[in-house]
Chain A
Amino acid sequence: MSASVAAGSAGALTVRNISKRFGGLVAVSEVSFTVAAGEIHALIGPNGAGKTTTFNMIAGAQPPDTGDVLLDGVSLAGLRPDQICRAGVGRTFQIVRPFNELTLVENVAVGALAWTDDVAEARDHARGVLELLGLGDKKDARPSSITLPDRKCLEVARALATKPKLLLLDEVMAGLRPTETDRMVAIFKKLNADTGLTILLIEHVMRAVMALSHRVLVLNYGRLIADGKPEEVTRDPEVLACYLGAEAFD
């Protein structure tokens, strides 16, 4: 497809001192990091570390109790999720949430309608994105009739269709076989190289993390305990300690 998926080369994310507590539970505590435009960062950590909550705060699904989130220097505070989406943040959900009664192309077209009012144009763009992710031949199927890996691809396609500057991927590799993982990794790498799309991904599949990321962020019990190059982070004793016992290393 000729049209670029990401809009321009911006997409720098700055997260400043965000926190979130639910009643007595502190889910995220004073987390700060930056993702430079055009880079791919991975956000890893044990289950319950606060990774999805961090995503929710960036995407506007949950407002942070403290701190701020900035996209290309512009604060996203107080914006609704749909406004943040149209500002250039696309996201997927950990458990896929397709529009079940709509066909694949319609699902993705909904995303494209974030930047156009023309349904025909949205459908065209949707077809292109589906092709890119290898779902072109299934465009008229319904989500219930395709496999889970394909539904994850659909989720990504829908987010990509919104022409994001920053893409938030929540565990899109979970449940994929190694060949499928490699395929996804290749797609993201190409997108990032061709269009400068900034990506922040939550992942447990280290194979993907190591292959994709320029930098890795590690959360544990809501705190950021490491932020560096993949090779450094995976040798950091504190990181190893929090992962002890987990079969995260392929």
Chain B
Amino acid sequence: MIARIIESASPRALALLAVVTLALLVAPWLVDSYVLSVLIIVLYFAYVGQAWNLMLGFAGQLSLGHALFVSLGAYTSAALFIKFGVPPIIGVFAAIAMAVVAGCLIGYLGFRFSIRGVYFALLTIAFAEFTGIIVDHISWLGASSGLFLPVKNQQSNDLLNLRGSPTMFYYVILALTGLAFALCSWLLNSKLGLYWQAIREDQEAAEASGVPLFRYKMIAVAISSGLTGIGGVWYAFYYNNLFPETMFKTSQSVEIILGSVVGGVGTLFGPILGAFVLTPLGEVLTAATDGMHLDGVKSFFWGFCVAAIVLFRPQGLWPWIYNVLGLAPKKEGKR
């Protein structure tokens, strides 16, 4: 598979990829803790953005409730760790299961009842908010006061328990992002990927060509929600506290998809690029408006940037950069 990517990409693209990968691998030694924390957030959003991208970009279903899967993964693994001492390396499987079950439930209801487009998006929002309110009332999970993981000293890195220094978390999320990318890339060229793209392009024509719609849509939803759930596990152990009021909110779901849409839905590199652009932009804006005591300036500019991209670069930044940097191979290939 790696061979196929390499042979179909242009030398320029490969060089760029190599440089970026190398830079990311050595980053912790080169940057200070602040920049590292920013990079960590960038990679987190690149990861969940990629997971989300699978559902819309590959199976054509818009989900605006992906925060649900993050939160389910987070709460499941956190609760297992706190209440039963289950390490996250094991807890992650329960987290995946929870997220996949929720995803499949929503997917099943949506597909079974033929709910598409904006209605499906609203269904996902409703499920996320609904679950959030329910969790807010479950005192075993801390209810609205939140769920807290005990924070030990950060001297030793315990990978299996996800307790350790920011550098450890950095490499974990970097590995996850890399794996997500590899997975999506592999899937794209598989029967699954071709069927998904067919469904995305024209459902009925796909069905007439032998594609079982329901089954493949469900697979996309399952993989998307499962991957997102894993992200939730990482989230819980990195941030150490979970509040239902913020975690399940639609605004969280929107943050998840922001990178993907800005970078380019349906493309492999879109979510990663989007995250790399937006998160640092946010940080720069915060720094720039720091002394101004103007609460809304940063978010205003943020909203403005997103609106600008939607209006002037609706395909996302990745296709544009792809052309600008001349990354296309001699033969027409996959972005």
In the assembled complex, which residues on chain A have CB atoms less than 8 Å from the CB atom of B202?
A: 97-99
Interchain residue pairs A-B with the least CB separation, the first 6: A114-B210, A97-B205, A99-B201, A85-B210, A81-B207, A110-B198
Stretch at the interface among B81-89, B92-100, B117-125, B187-195: B187-195
Give the number of residue pairs across the A-B interface with Cβ within 8 Å.
84
Q: Describe B's contact surface by its main secondary structure.
A: helix
Interface size classification for chain A: 20 to 34
A111 within 8 A of B: yes
In the assembled complex, which residues on chain A have CB atoms less than 8 Å from the CB atom of B208?
A: 59, 61, 81-82, 85, 91, 93, 159
The residue on A at minimum CB distance from B266 is A101
Which of A80, A98, A159 is B207 in contact with, Cβ under 8 Å? A80
What is the number of residues of chain B that contact chain A, defined by CB distance less than 8 Å? 23
In the assembled complex, which residues on chain B have CB atoms less than 8 Å from the CB atom of A61?
A: 204, 207-208
Interface string of A97-119 (1 = CB under 8 A from B): 11111110010011101100111
CB distance from B213 to the nearest CB of A (A): 7
Contact status A110-B331, CB under 8 Å: no
In the assembled complex, which residues on chain A have CB atoms less than 8 Å from the CB atom of B211?
A: 82, 110, 113
Contact status B207-A110, CB under 8 Å: no
B332 within 8 A of A: yes
Q: Describe A's contact surface by its main secondary structure.
A: loop
How many Å lie between the Cα of A58 and that of B210 in the bound state?
Answer: 14
- A93-B198 in contact given A82-B212, A140-B331, A162-B210 (Cβ < 8 Å): no
In the assembled complex, which residues on chain A have CB atoms less than 8 Å from the CB atom of B201?
A: 98-102
Contact status A140-B332, CB under 8 Å: yes
How many Å lie between the Cα of A98 and that of B332 in the bound state?
Answer: 18
Taking Cβ atoms with an 8 Å cutoff, the residues of A that contact B are 59, 61, 80-83, 85-86, 91, 93, 97-103, 106, 109-111, 113-114, 117-119, 122, 140-142, 158-159, 162
CB distance from A97 to the nearest CB of B (A): 4
Contact status A113-B331, CB under 8 Å: no
